[in-house]
Structure 1
Amino acid sequence: MLNKAKTIHDKLINLRRTIHKHPELGFQEIKTSALIANTLRELGIEFQPNVGKTGVVAHLGDGNGPKIGIRADMDALPILEANEVEYKSQVPGKMHACGHDSHTAMLLGVAMLLKDEPIAGEVRLLFQPAEEGNVNGTSGAQEMIKEHALDDLDTVIALHVNGTLDCGQIALISGYSHANTDRVYAKIIGKGGHGAVPHEAIDPIFMTAPILTAIHGIVSRRVNPIMPAVITVGRLAGGNTANVIPDTVELELTIRSTTKEVQKLLMDEIEKALSIARLLGGDYTCDVEYGYPALHNDEHVVRWIEKVGSDLLGSDNIKQRPLGMGGEDFSFMVNSCTGAMFSLGVKDPNGEPKYLHHSEFDIDENALPIGAALLAETALRFVRGELS
């Protein structure tokens, strides 16, 4: 399969660069979806557009047998690209800084590789919009699931590019690979007044100091040390001038965990920390926004991908992926059926690492046929019953 994928290398590069030059944010992937539809139409592959708003779903096989889905996200980020390359973003302030252009190109590569294969079952190609954060309270994976894009699937797989892992390598982990991504919006409420007479006010900035200390002690003193957990106060705002005590101070926190038990513990302890305001004569409000759930990779699916990877790339190029505390809405899909995501190395072995969500992110395009081949071969072996 890898040799076959290398014959379409130039096509994959062209697709990836076309998408890269025209980045679109979540649920705005009109041109990207049109490119996908046109490519699938040229290949003679059945598809449905406008699934989950701007997503595309394609079908390969007769449907009479095992069914596997392969997901690729399509959306870009609101980042001004700093790379000076011929395929640089032509949309100021928008960039494919997370590699979704390459994900989409590789999934189209899977379509090219499998279109003439006899498939007793189904390989379903899921071109998903809006992975990068909730848009109006929802994400692309959630919308596609609502519109039945994953119905009847036995399993679903995906990859994500990794600019710190050498091209030609992949990394996997069974169990949790990504975290719950939640936010807290809190307000410490006091009573404003003149800075020269603080005793006549109830100072929310004063109250915020012990609250911050309590919040920053939660992970170290209330959570089992072997359980992953993060609380970051990313925004603190209060007051506009030196001689005025404000009425309120606003806090925004990001909360990361993997299990529901730790997730609940963190929220409960944050509430307790905020209640210090009441002991000091003030009050507080606390609004929680639950984001993507933690991504849990099924160990059997991970073993399938590991076996295919070893056969195509050699066992020395299969690495252990560490748990990260980032978020990934593919978690919604693996919660609806078993599945797993793996990391695809896209770093030039002779170059510097490239970091996701950075204005200079780019990939070694030699990874494109590798990713397409791994996805296609895994899917083909699954529907043929060669993976157990």
Structure 2
Amino acid sequence: DMDALPILEANEVSYTSVNPGVMHACGHDSHTAILLAVAKILTEMPDRPAGELRFLFQPCEETNDAEGKSGAQRMIDDGALEGVDRVIALHVDSDLPTGRLFTPSGYMTANVDNFFATIIGQGAHGAHPDQGIDPIYLLGQVINALQGIRARRIDPSRPAVVTIGTVRAGLAGGENVIPNEATLSGTLRSYDDETREKLIVEVERALSVSKALGGDFKLEVVRGCPSTYNDPLVTELIRSTAVDLFGESALIERERSLGGEDFSYMTREAPGAMFLLGAKKDAVKRAHHNPLFDIDESAMPVGAAMLAEVATRLLVSAAPKR
């Protein structure tokens, strides 16, 4: 991926963004540089195994276009993965030790779905709540029901998150006004597709509490990227390559993320895997999507070496046996 973010950079370094309000706050510039290095390494390799390698420089990972599609989806639509047998990706991580790698077999990132709901009541004077249907009261009951989904409606062995991110009701100066509507929005995260569908059903069920109390609701669910699934065989190849190149200590174990990643669309076109590349610069908190985001650039040669060697080994494994 190559895209930047609408963030004003707070770093004072020689490579600070020259575009005010726009910065590379997720490491995509380093991804681009790493892949260019991989292309140079492999195209100049005199004894490179036979086979085709395709280097994918993807726009629009951070958001979707006007038609709701991400950069990965657009590249697939344009045929970028036609004939591709395996896909590999890396992502720098500013919180992992430099040069260390994390790549679990199985789910790597989560399904990402957002929901937008309107609770419909009936406005009234604040002194006469009995003459209306208070959507704020309904909203409170709905929030309780939503928070109970994970605890009581989802298999405890399956990771899932229901987070409410926004709640809005009433207007400034309307202390004695019961409004007609209240709104809320949030995000749903899961790994497997069955849990993904179950969450959406349960959100609608939770909102139906408003109907039981005399109101109504409207719900829109916007489906985002699916979960990234690391193919076990490809993952093992990445892990063994890391050990061969950098030793056993190169691999690190940690909890998987419920964040999203549109590389997932590519892993649904061909078996593949993603690994995180540690690039922690210093003791400063340089979280992704933060104005102080930065990486230790000494991680970049590690990433280039990994991608080049994994690609080479994949070519060797795909070569016809004599």
TM-score with structure 2 length normalisation? 0.95
The residue aligned with 2:206 is: 273
Counterpart-to-counterpart distance in 1, 2:280 and 2:215: 52
Q: Which runs of 4+ in 1 moved over 4 A?
A: none
Counterpart-to-counterpart distance in 2, 1:273 and 1:168: 45
In the TM superposition, residue 352 of structure 1 has moved relative to its aligned partner by 4.2
1:156-211, Cα deviation, whole Å (9 max, x unpaired): 00000011111121111000011100011110001112212211111100111111
1:331-353, Cα deviation, whole Å (9 max, x unpaired): 000000000000101113x6445
The residue aligned with 1:372 is: 304
In the TM superposition, residue 386 of structure 1 has moved relative to its aligned partner by 8.1
The residue aligned with 2:289 is: 357
Check conservation: 1:174, 1:302, Cα contact below 8 A: yes
The residue aligned with 2:156 is: 225
Q: Which amino acid aligns with 2:247?
A: G
Q: Which amino acid aligns with 1:380?
A: T
Residues 1:298 and 2:231 aligned together = yes
SS at 2:89 equivalent: strand
Residues 1:260 and 2:193 aligned together = yes
1:20-71, Cα deviation, whole Å (9 max, x unpaired): xxxxxxxxxxxxxxxxxxxxxxxxxxxxxxxxxxxxxxxxxxxxxxxxxxxx
In the TM superposition, residue 354 of structure 1 has moved relative to its aligned partner by 2.8
Q: Which amino acid aligns with 1:207?
A: L
In the TM superposition, residue 385 of structure 1 has moved relative to its aligned partner by 2.2
Check conservation: 1:177, 1:322, Cα contact below 8 A: no
The residue aligned with 1:171 is: 102
Q: 1:128 aligns with which of 50, 55, 58?
A: 58
Q: 1:95 aligns with which of 20, 23, 26?
A: 23
In the TM superposition, residue 138 of structure 1 has moved relative to its aligned partner by 0.6
Residues 1:334 and 2:262 aligned together = no
Q: 145-154 or 354-363, which moves further after superposition?
A: 354-363
The residue aligned with 2:315 is: 383
Q: 330-339 or 314-323, which moves further after superposition?
A: 314-323
Counterpart-to-counterpart distance in 2, 1:386 and 1:332: 23
| Structure 2: segments with no counterpart, 5+ residues | none
**Structure 1 segment 100-119 matched on structure 2, within 5 A:** 100-117=28-45, 118-119=48-49
Check conservation: 1:347, 1:353, Cα contact below 8 A: no
Question: Which structure would you say has the larger RCO, counting Cα contacts within 8 Å and 6 or more residues apart?
Answer: 2
Number of matched pairs: 315
SS at 2:317 equivalent: coil
The residue aligned with 2:122 is: 191
Q: 353-362 or 103-112, which moves further after superposition?
A: 353-362
Q: Which amino acid aligns with 2:50?
A: A
**Structure 1 segment 237-252 matched on structure 2, within 5 A:** 237-240=168-171, 241-252=174-185
Counterpart-to-counterpart distance in 2, 1:111 and 1:82: 32
SS at 2:196 equivalent: helix
Q: 2:71 aligns with which of 93, 115, 140?
A: 140
The residue aligned with 1:287 is: 220
1:198-242, Cα deviation, whole Å (9 max, x unpaired): 111111001111111111011011112121000011011110021
Q: Normalized per residue, which structure has more strand?
A: 1
Check conservation: 1:161, 1:345, Cα contact below 8 A: yes
Counterpart-to-counterpart distance in 2, 1:281 and 1:386: 63
TM-score with structure 1 length normalisation? 0.79
Between the aligned residues of both structures, percent identity stands at 49
In the TM superposition, residue 308 of structure 1 has moved relative to its aligned partner by 1.1
CA RMSD of aligned residues (A): 1.5
Counterpart-to-counterpart distance in 2, 1:277 and 1:377: 57
Counterpart-to-counterpart distance in 2, 1:385 and 1:216: 48
The residue aligned with 1:203 is: 134
The residue aligned with 1:15 is: none
Counterpart-to-counterpart distance in 2, 1:150 and 1:351: 40
